[in-house]
Structure 1
């Protein structure tokens, strides 16, 4: 079965580039990876910005802003409940697992993610820097107490839904994700910049890297001497930006496991 899978992948247009990525990466370790929504699509979580995604139904500047949350939390929670429904029960895919395997092999030092789905951690990755927070928890806007997002009420209609409140002070709970109008956590930016400064190769996986400040990282890595490698389904603005040394366009769930396997094998030989 394994042989059949390899034979199928050898017919992909991107297959000849695998060894180029392996050689570039093996020569300049460690790897730091920037991930976006594209890595979780194979887990069944749609890209919010794509056709049919969450932002097609809910204007993010309206529903995902702190001002809207404070003005009408029940309305914003209508969007949040749909968001949680898309993430509920989803598991890491082979792409997440491949990155975790690279970290375990001490070839990957950090993952910087724009995702809020907690799937990198579920896959076993330890050094995960979250730019947009984590949807696994809720936090009280008053006392700061945290609780699990698994306890979000599942009432069917907004009419009978009340936004969750804190058990300690009865104030509103908000997911520990970054809304429009909130700054990216300083500690996350600081950790990301340190990781970029120390990396030899910077992979960009499942993101166009257009959203700031994550969008500044490929250029920062390149200017620091790292090789920048893009792994996306299609061309993005990064592809021809001048900061990208190599692009592979295909499904990350096919590419990443093969890359991880070949890179671990290559580096184990010294």
Structure 2
């Protein structure tokens, strides 16, 4: 069912939230656009300005590694200035109220943690851009260390095993994190309300979680400015601004 207007959509969503015992939100880039972080596919999005660098290219090409880090540091003022929006704060309110056991996100911006979610309860399918990891041994590095090395001699290698260091994100062609996928699957299978928020639902395998939840008996709500291929299966579709849609739930 597609909400005819924002007010009726919010009222129905409120009823569904009140009736639910276990809510699992699944968030995409759309929830962070009001925080100043551009999404990927929309006009002006990141991928309209820069071609994504696949993982195998990052591994094989020093030039690609330098370009990847140049882009990341160019975005640093944007990420550093971003604060949780109304959508983040609304979900954090439901988390504190005990309605949400954990959140599944495609986002890499760390804003759910900043909004009040315990890091242990944020399942990051695509990693986190606020720190770095060695792609060989997995050692973590803070971005200040990477920036110093990068300014001195280009993209750094790990001090422990000499493999390349990249942001702790999942690039195209890179294996999805097993533990995050396992936890997301389990959450989708055991909730009674699944909220897909700000995701185009076209990036797989992450896009499979809404239908997994639906097939396991959960109510499915999709909140996104643009239509998705899964709208026809949802119990409620709200095609309005995410901050305006979830704003009434901040502090509840």
For Structure 1 versus Structure 2, the TM-score category normalised by the shorter chain is: 0.7 to 0.9
Structure 1 residues 1-150: aligned runs within 5 Å: 13-60=5-52, 63-72=53-62, 73-126=65-118, 127-150=121-144
Mark the structure with the bigger radius of gyration: 1
Deviations 1:157-201 (A, max 9, x none): x99761134455665321110111111111111100111111010
Tell me how far apart the structure 1 counterparts of residues 137 and 123 of structure 2 sit (CA, whole Å).
Answer: 25
Are positions 1:248 and 2:238 aligned together?
yes
Unaligned runs of 5+ in 2: none
Q: Does the 8 Å CA contact 2:55/2:171 hold for their aligned counterparts?
A: yes
Shift of 1:253: 1.0
Shift of 1:134: 0.7
SS of equivalent to 2:26: strand
Residues 208 and 142 from structure 1, CA distance in 2 versus in 1: closer, same or farther, beyond 3 angstroms?
A: closer
Q: TM-score normalized by structure 1?
A: 0.82
Deviations 1:8-27 (A, max 9, x none): xxxx9311222211222322
Who is 1:258 aligned against? Answer: 248
Tell me how far apart the structure 1 counterparts of residues 114 and 48 of structure 2 sit (CA, whole Å).
Answer: 28
Q: Does the 8 Å CA contact 2:222/2:237 hold for their aligned counterparts?
A: yes
Q: TM-score normalized by structure 2?
A: 0.88
Give the total of aligned pairs. Answer: 245
Could you tell which deviates more after superposition, 25-34 or 94-103? 25-34
Shift of 1:244: 0.5
Who is 1:6 aligned against? Answer: none
Tell me how far apart the structure 1 counterparts of residues 151 and 44 of structure 2 sit (CA, whole Å).
Answer: 25
